[in-house]
């Protein structure tokens, strides 16, 4: 795999704060490669993030970076995009950050179809606070706040976004970083609200408690479970049980909000 562009990393800020074996670094690297691949000018790119382990990624990336409040990254990004529609915004969130406290902003960003690229690092847990269950924790899995396993049912994040109006939804994982990079760059090229769910491992606050092994075992399972959209179309329901779809799940065209706004006021 080729080296990351040093320009896009704040090498002085490394080493990062993440635990050994954490998937956040893999997803962040895929994001940086995707930005490189898209060929954007460094000064046009903005990284916005929420609060949590994953959101610390913003601090390591050499762009204009905005580390916001818990759950509110998309709302900050909406303001910035409307003020400066020429900027390319990538919004990094964690699963709890995006779908619990930030759920309202998530569905409304989707509804507006504003051109933001949401990258949700889904490790099924609140890592920074030590392992509480999130709306994306699968039923039955253990967390500090669900010691007997959570009774709650998880969201399907991409279907939630689609229902709310998102025009691009893709799922990748930390075990297949090449594919993830491609998915993020396709999301970047898509005009409108795009969602990339990046499945990732948190061996410390999730893996250990649920006896999933270390990072290697978790990554192996992630890879085994992943089935591409193309392959899935040849499989039946039974075969697809316990599998996760990966690839571009949907991509449709619809009017993009910031462009429509500026057109409506005669400035586009």
CB of 185 to ligand SF4, least distance (A): 24
CA dihedral 35, 38, 39, 40 (to 10 degrees): -60
The rounded Cα 11 to chain-centroid distance in angstroms is: 23
Binding mask 67-96 for other proteins (x = CB under 8 A): xxx--x--xxxxxxxxxx-xx---------
Does residue number 119 form part of the binding site for ligand SF4 (CB under 6 A)? no
> Using CB distances below 5 to 8 A depending on partner kind, what does residue 241 bind out of other proteins, ligand SF4, none?
none
Query: According to CB under 6 A, which one of 102, 192, 203, 247 is a site residue for ligand SF4?
Result: 203
Please list the alpha-helical segments (H only) found in 56-202: 73-83, 95-96, 103-112, 157-164, 177-189
Q: What is d(CA 222, CA 226) in angstroms, rounded to the nearest whole number?
A: 6
Q: What is d(CA 111, CA 89) in angstroms, rounded to the nearest whole number?
A: 17
The rounded Cα 191 to chain-centroid distance in angstroms is: 17
Does residue number 24 form part of the binding site for ligand SF4 (CB under 6 A)? yes
Does residue number 22 form part of the binding site for ligand SF4 (CB under 6 A)? yes
Of 219, 117, 127, the closest CA to residue 173 belongs to 219
Binding mask 15-44 for other proteins (x = CB under 8 A): ---------------------------xxx
- Contacting range for other proteins; rule: CB under 8 A; set: 104-112, 123-131, 134-142, 217-225: 104-112
**Site residue total, other proteins (CB under 8 A):** 36
Is 169 in a helix, a strand, or coil? strand
CB of 53 to other proteins, least distance (A): 13
Does residue number 205 form part of the binding site for ligand SF4 (CB under 6 A)? yes
Binding mask 77-116 for ligand SF4 (x = CB under 6 A): ----------------------------------------
Nearer to other proteins, 5 or 104 (CB): 104
b/e for 28-51, b at 16 or more Cβ within 10 A?
A: bbbbbbbbbebebeeeebbbbbbb
Task: State whether the Cα torsion 146-148-152-153 is positive or negative.
Answer: positive
Does residue number 47 form part of the binding site for ligand SF4 (CB under 6 A)? no
Nearer to ligand SF4, 50 or 192 (CB): 50
Give the burial class of 59: count Cβ atoms within 10 A of its Cβ; 0-12 exposed, 13-18 middle, 19 or more buried: middle
Chain positions contacting other proteins, by CB under 8 A? 13, 42-44, 46, 48, 58-59, 62-69, 72, 75-84, 86-87, 104-105, 108, 261, 264-265, 267
């Amino acid at each position: 795999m080729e080296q990351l562009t040093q320009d896009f990393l704040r090498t002085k800020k490394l080493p990062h704060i993440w635990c050994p074996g954490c998937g956040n670094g893999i997803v962040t690297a895929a994001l940086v490669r995707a930005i490189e691949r898209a060929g954007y000018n460094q000064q046009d790119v903005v990284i916005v993030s929420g609060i949590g382990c994953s959101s610390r990624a913003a601090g390591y990336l050499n762009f204009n970076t905005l580390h916001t409040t818990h759950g509110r990254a998309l709302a900050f990004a909406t303001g910035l995009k409307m003020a400066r529609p020429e900027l390319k915004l990538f919004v990094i969130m964690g699963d709890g950050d995006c779908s619990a406290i930030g759920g309202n902003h998530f569905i409304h960003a989707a509804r507006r179809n504003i051109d933001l690229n949401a990258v949700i690092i889904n490790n099924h847990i609140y890592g920074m606070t030590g392992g509480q269950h999130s709306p994306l924790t699968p039923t039955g899995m253990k967390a500090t706040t669900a010691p007997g396993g959570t009774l709650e049912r998880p969201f399907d994040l991409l279907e939630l976004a689609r229902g709310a109006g998102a025009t691009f939804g893709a799922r990748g994982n930390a075990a297949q970083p090449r594919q993830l990079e491609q998915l993020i760059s396709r999301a970047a090229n898509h005009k409108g609200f795009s969602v990339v769910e990046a499945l990732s491992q948190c061996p410390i606050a999730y893996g250990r408690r649920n006896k999933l092994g270390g990072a290697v075992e978790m990554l192996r399972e992630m890879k085994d479970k992943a089935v591409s959209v193309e392959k899935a179309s040849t499989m039946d329901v039974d075969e697809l049980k316990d599998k996760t779809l990966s690839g571009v799940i949907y991509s449709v065209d619809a009017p993009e909000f910031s462009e429509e706004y500026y057109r409506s006021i005669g400035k586009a």
